[in-house]
Amino acid sequence: MANEVILLDFWPSMFGMRTRIALREKGVEFEYREEDLRNKSPLLLQMNPIHKKIPVLIHNGKPVNESIIQVQYIDEVWSHKNPILPSDPYLRAQARFWADFIDKKLYDAQRKVWATKGEEQEAGKKDFIEILKTLESELGDKPYFSGDDFGYVDIALIGFYTWFPAYEKFANFSIESEVPKLIAWVKKCLQRESVAKSLPDPEKVTEFVSELRKKFVPE
Amino acid sequence: MANDQVILLDYWPSMFGMRTKMALAEKGVKYEYKETDPWVKTPLLIEMNPIHKKIPVLIHNGKPICESLIQLEYIDEVWSDASPILPSDPYQKSRARFWAEFIDKKFYDPSWKVWATMGEEHAAVKKELLEHFKTLETELGDKPYYGGEVFGYLDIALMGYYSWFKAMEKFGEFSIETEFPILTTWTKRCLERESVVKALADSDRIIEYVYVLRKKFGAA
């Protein structure tokens, strides 16, 4: 088919990073369109009228919304190369479970780490570390979350890494000290071209988060 | 599958458990239902769902699958010879997943807060709930089912909540039939299916249960 693939995205979004990685894993050429979230484009509002959020994947004019749904869509449409989800139904269910866990637990927890202060931040940091430890336990000694191959859960989680220095800076702790195996996993993932090309410089993310934090925690 | 052992840890009023029951029935899968009060963390529940410790948990040949929507996909993939739950087309599948997630992420909160809150908060919650009902009705449009001609994933996802509609109406002081006639027609169509009817808890019993919960939540 004649493939027109557009990704409406915002560069520091860990959700957009998932879709970027998935497309690159499949060797799909796409047009990246940066959205200004303070001035959303008519196309974004048209393509995601319910949530009005990025990322939006537009494939031959049709929108697919929600990053984790986009990753599954990409896996199904371009199914000939680098499978993202395992073929075994039980392993697929497990991968979906952990991606769901990340979306339900990790995102909210990380927000408290950089967007709050004082006791609320300390409690948030504790929660965040606990969640990372749960994920590290699940990873265990495997190179990737579903075993030998980079896949769905790795894609779901790796984008958060670019925010790690910001968390460390604003909550004053070391993630590597807490979850060394998880950081080793991060380094392995970063060796993949699809990941390296899709993730922004963590320093730039930290600058971005610094500005963002000013809105939530007046100095 | 020969010699399949299928167990469902569930709690009778759970809209999430009702989904899984419908899906299993749609596939003609025999299973053992184990009533599991989620407030009482039994060793089996903790073992099978150590992360969330919630029901429903589907246990297939000793292995646990947690989260109702994940269970639906699993059931569809494992018993793939029986009537499909998800569309095969990737785009249609993505739309089904999107709306099911909408139900759990957006619709769920006001759906219980409408009977658990009072005053100004209640008014805001009711407004939000009605908006979400309208959104879901609009998405249905004039199709007989959410997936088109065939009962499937999204119908199961939303019909799981059907038993609670009466409680929403009572405490929200609105009528679904009056406000959302197209959605009402759809519910009646779904209720013609044995898989749906057998999976659903009695609406009046849910209302009694809500009175109990409201005391716990301090909304009485």
Q: pLDDT tens digits for A72-107?
A: 999 999 997 889 999 999 999 989 999 999 998 999
The domains of chain A are located at 5-78, 89-216
pLDDT for B55: 93
Q: pLDDT tens digits for B67-91?
A: 999 999 999 999 998 889 999 999 9
The verdict on a CB contact (< 8 Å) between A96 and B66 is no
Q: Is B66 among the domain residues?
A: yes
For residues B72 and B85, is the Cβ–Cβ distance under 8 A? Answer: yes
* Domain co-membership, B73 together with B116: no
Q: What is the mean pLDDT of residues A167-184?
A: 95
* Domain co-membership, B206 together with B99: yes
B175: left (phi over 0), alpha (psi -120 to 50) or beta: beta
pLDDT for B2: 62
* Domain co-membership, B96 together with B138: yes
For residues B98 and A66, is the Cβ–Cβ distance under 8 A? Answer: yes
Confidence of residue A147 (pLDDT cuts 50, 70, 90): very high
Asked if the model's pLDDT at residue A180 lies above 60, the reply is: yes
Q: Which fold has domain A5-78?
A: Glutaredoxin (3.40.30)
Burial of A23 (0-12, 13-18, 19+ CB in 10 A): buried
* Domain co-membership, B32 together with B115: no
Burial of A119 (0-12, 13-18, 19+ CB in 10 A): exposed
Q: Is B138 among the domain residues?
A: yes
CA B64: distance to chain centroid? 19
**Bond prior to A55 in cis (omega within 30° of 0):** yes
* Domain co-membership, B70 together with B102: no
Output the domain CATH number for residue B140: 1.20.1050.10
Handedness of CA A157, A161, A167, A172 (dihedral sign): positive
Asked if the model's pLDDT at residue A1 lies above 60, the reply is: no
Q: Is B84 among the domain residues?
A: no
Confidence of residue A29 (pLDDT cuts 50, 70, 90): confident
Q: Is B85 among the domain residues?
A: no
> Which domain does B123 fall in, by range?
90-216
Whole-angstrom distance, CA of residue B6 vs CA of residue B208: 31
Instruction: Out of B58, B78, B98, pick the residue that ends a domain.
Output: B78
3-state secondary structure at position A66: coil
Contacting B with CB below 8 Å, chain A residues are 50, 59, 62, 64-66, 69-70, 72-73, 76-77, 89-90, 92-93, 96-97, 100-101, 134
Q: pLDDT tens digits for B144-160?
A: 999 998 899 999 999 99
R_g of chain B, CA atoms, integer Å: 17
pLDDT for A68: 93
Confidence of residue A19 (pLDDT cuts 50, 70, 90): very high
Q: Is B196 among the domain residues?
A: yes
Confidence of residue A219 (pLDDT cuts 50, 70, 90): low
**Bond prior to B56 in cis (omega within 30° of 0):** yes
Q: Which two tokens stand for residue B26?
A: 């749609």
* Domain co-membership, B95 together with B193: yes
Task: Note the ipTM here.
Answer: 0.95
The verdict on a CB contact (< 8 Å) between B91 and A72 is no
* Domain co-membership, B200 together with B111: yes
pLDDT for B1: 52
Pick the more confident residue, B58 or A51: B58
Distances (CA, A) of A203 to A18, A163, A164, A209, B96: 19, 9, 10, 10, 38
From chain B residues 91-150, the ones with a CB under 8 A of any chain A CB are 91, 93-94, 97-98, 101-102, 135
* CB burial string A47-67: b at 16+ within 10 A, e below: bbeeeebbbbbbbeeebbbbb
Tell which CATH classification among 1.20.1050.10, 3.40.640.10, 1.10.1660.10, 1.20.1250.20 matches the domain A89-216.
1.20.1050.10
What pairing do the DSSP bridges indicate for beta strands B6-10 and B32-35?
Answer: parallel
A74 HSE (CA, 13 A, CB side) = 33
Query: A-B interface: how many C-beta pairs under 8 angstroms?
Result: 53
Nearest CA in chain A to B104: A104
B215-220: long-range contacts at Cβ-Cβ below 8 A with a sequence spacing of 24 or more? B217/B116, B219/B115, B219/B116, B219/B117, B219/B118
* Domain co-membership, B42 together with B103: no
For residues B187 and B158, is the Cβ–Cβ distance under 8 A? Answer: no
Strand order in the sheet with A31-34: A31-34, A5-9, A56-59, A62-65
Whole-angstrom distance, CA of residue A171 vs CA of residue A28: 38
**Angle, CA of A25, A26 and A30, to the nearest 5°:** 100
Nearest to A101 among B51, B77, B101 (CB): B51
Residue of A44, A35, A79 whose CA lies nearest to A63: A44
* Domain co-membership, B126 together with B165: yes
A171: left (phi over 0), alpha (psi -120 to 50) or beta: alpha
* Domain co-membership, B108 together with B164: yes
What pairing do the DSSP bridges indicate for beta strands A62-65 and A56-59?
Answer: antiparallel
pLDDT for B113: 94
Residue A174 burial (CB count, 10 A): 11
* Domain co-membership, B203 together with B110: yes
Output the domain CATH number for residue B69: 3.40.30.10
pLDDT for A2: 72
The total domain count for chain B is 2
Instruction: Out of B78, B113, B141, pick the residue that ends a domain.
Output: B78
* Domain co-membership, B70 together with B119: no
For residues B55 and B16, is the Cβ–Cβ distance under 8 A? Answer: yes
Low pLDDT (below 70) residues in chain B: 1-3, 220
Whole-angstrom distance, CA of residue A75 vs CA of residue A152: 9
Q: Is B118 among the domain residues?
A: yes
Q: Is B83 among the domain residues?
A: no
